[in-house]
């Protein structure tokens, strides 16, 4: 996706909003299921406890931040998601690779959020410079 305007930057950034919201919702659903099943969703699945709700809350905050075009939220979403995926796969070597395609799509959405938020602020700075408005 080429980001050549403020509108294109906003659209790219919103991919991260959707990704973060998706991660939060999936985390909440799997956490509720795991708690109902005693903390284990089955063979090859990681142990999940109520602490996962904190993770979901962080991704909700990241989604809100990216929606507001925060560069910090976009970078945090990308880094946190990648780190969590690495930790999950290292600590659970039997974890199924069937969801790997979704992981890649989510990472790409966060990458676009980073690109979009940084581009938006660059375009905004240029626009303010051209209009002479320093506010």
Q: Is the pLDDT of residue 43 over 70?
A: no
Q: What three-state secondary structure class fits 44?
A: coil
| Best CA proximity match to 20, nearest among 53, 67, 54, 52 | 67
What does pTM read for this prediction? 0.87
For the chain, how many residues are written? 135
Confidence (pLDDT) at 68: 98
Across the chain, how many H-helices and E-strands are there?
A: 4, 0
Return the structure tokens found at 14: 């919103």
Q: pLDDT tens digits for 44-101?
A: 566 677 788 999 999 999 999 999 999 999 999 999 999 999 988 888 777 777 788 9
């Amino acid at each position: 996706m080429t980001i050549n305007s403020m509108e294109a930057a906003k659209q790219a950034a919103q991919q991260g909003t959707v990704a973060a919201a998706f991660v939060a919702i999936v985390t909440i659903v799997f956490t509720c299921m795991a708690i109902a099943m005693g903390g284990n969703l089955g063979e090859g699945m990681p142990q999940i406890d109520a602490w996962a709700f904190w993770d979901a809350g962080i991704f909700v905050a990241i989604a809100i931040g990216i929606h507001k075009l925060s560069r910090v939220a976009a970078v945090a979403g990308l880094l946190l998601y990648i780190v969590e995926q690495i930790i999950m796969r290292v600590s659970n070597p039997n974890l199924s690779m069937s969801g790997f395609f979704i992981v890649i799509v989510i990472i790409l959405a966060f990458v676009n959020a980073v690109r979009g938020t940084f581009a938006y602020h660059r375009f905004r700075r240029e626009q303010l410079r051209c209009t002479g408005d320093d506010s």
